Chain A
Amino acid sequence: MSLIAVTVIGPDRPGIIAEATGGLAALGLNLEDSTMTLLRGHFAMMLICSGDRAPAEVEQALASLTADGLQVSAREVPPDDGVGESGRVPYVLTVHGGDRPGIVSALTRVVADAGGNITDLATRLTDELYVLIAEVDLPAAADEDDVAARLRSVARDLGVDVMLRPQETDIL
């Protein structure tokens, strides 16, 4: 049993997901985690599937999508060792402001330098407003106030607003 990472990206139209997942199902592959969305009108799919197939077989099974102008890639990936780093505290990082190059790189650099790991990140550009929302795991030993102060300092130089706050989780 191997794990295969599949990406499909290209011009959006109805039916891409049905065709792509239909091709994977026909090979007996099982979908595990996936994300499928639109990025400025382009359809984008990333998923991990498991089964006894070679990546080349997957790309062959999705050839109709490739012929339709979508970029398809399948690569084998190692299994998750299941050992996440413990003792991390989840935060939500929000950034918004005027669009300019370098916002994401400058602010994620602050997170990385603090030993933080970004587990999810999405950005949106609407007119002149750029919005970044990231879910960040900080090491338990990290000083939240210090990280937030450094983020604010970088954000000030970029002319954007930044907010770092603990992620609220309600476990029922």
Chain B
Amino acid sequence: MSVRDWVESDLGVPGTVLPVVRAPAAVLSQPAPYVDPQAPETVRLAADLVATMRVSPGCVGLAACQVGVAAHVFAVDVTGHPKARTVHGTFVLCNARVEEATRKEKGREGCMSVPDLTGDVKRATRLVVSGQLPGSGDHVTVETDAFEARALQHEIDHCDGYLFLDRVSGAHAVYPRQTYL
């Protein structure tokens, strides 16, 4: 199965919107343990991540640690983002890892868990990621680029206990987040 064909209704459970945890919460700083993608709690977590991502304005990805759960799971959806090229729609990956990463470019990132800052981070713009789908446990490979590649690297970093702050390019590469009324 391809992640492009995956839809959240495959999970078969409704998601609950969960509160988002902010740094310096300890759960954001620890590598998350791998999960059983078929376990009921993983399926519920996947549905919760999608539900929480959906109600958060501008949110293109959410990792389990961001809702306070130490688990190697994240949701991504960059649909409609102006910087996206390849788009796989909504999907959740368990136990994901980067297989190939090339052509790094700098871009400005923000994060719901660091709501007051943004930062310039170099990320690969060509990316191959492998992981498992929640529910079926199918092993999948995602080959993507541009903004979806950035989002995947940001979320996998969360699962490994890193924030974008750990990857900013220099002393003047962190900015107060602009807020508009």
Q: Which residues of A contact B (CB under 8 A)?
A: 92, 94, 96-98, 120-122, 124, 126-131, 133-135, 160-161, 163, 167-168
Contact = CB atoms under 8 A, between A and B. Distances in A.
A96 B23 contact: yes
B171 A133 contact: yes
Interface string B145-181: 0000000000000000011011111111110100000
Contacts of B29: 97, 161
Nearest to B30: A161
Contact of A129 (B24, B166, B176): B24
Contact of A96 (B122, B163, B172, B176): B163
Contacts of B22: 127, 129
Contacts of A121: 171
Contact of B174 (A127, A133, A161): A133
Contacts of A124: 117, 174, 176
Interface string B6-24: 0000000000000000111
Contact of A168 (B116, B122, B165, B171): B122
Contact of A135 (B162, B163, B170): B170
Given A97-B24, A98-B24, A160-B24, A126 B168 contact: no
Q: Is the interface of A mostly helix, strand, loop or mixed?
A: strand
Interface residues of B, number: 22
Contacts of A97: 23-24, 29
Given A97-B24, A133-B165, A167-B170, 7 more contacts: A94-B166, A120-B172, A126-B176, A128-B24, A131-B117, A131-B174, A161-B163
Contacts of A168: 104, 122, 169
A133 B24 contact: no
Give the one of A97, A98, A131 with max B CB within 10 A. A131
A133 B173 CA distance: 9
B114 interface: yes
Contacts of B168: 92, 94, 133
Contacts of B24: 96-98, 128-130, 160
The 9 closest A-B pairs by CB, nearest first: A126-B116, A120-B171, A163-B166, A98-B24, A122-B171, A97-B24, A133-B171, A96-B165, A129-B23
Nearest to B23: A129
A92 B23 CA distance: 20
Given A96-B165, A161-B29, A135 B117 contact: no
A153 to B, nearest CB: 15
Nearest to A163: B166
Interface in B12-60: 22-24, 29
Contacts of A127: 22, 116
A92 B163 contact: no
A40 to B, nearest CB: 10
A98 B24 CA distance: 5
A135 B117 CA distance: 19
B176 to A, nearest CB: 7
B166 A120 contact: no
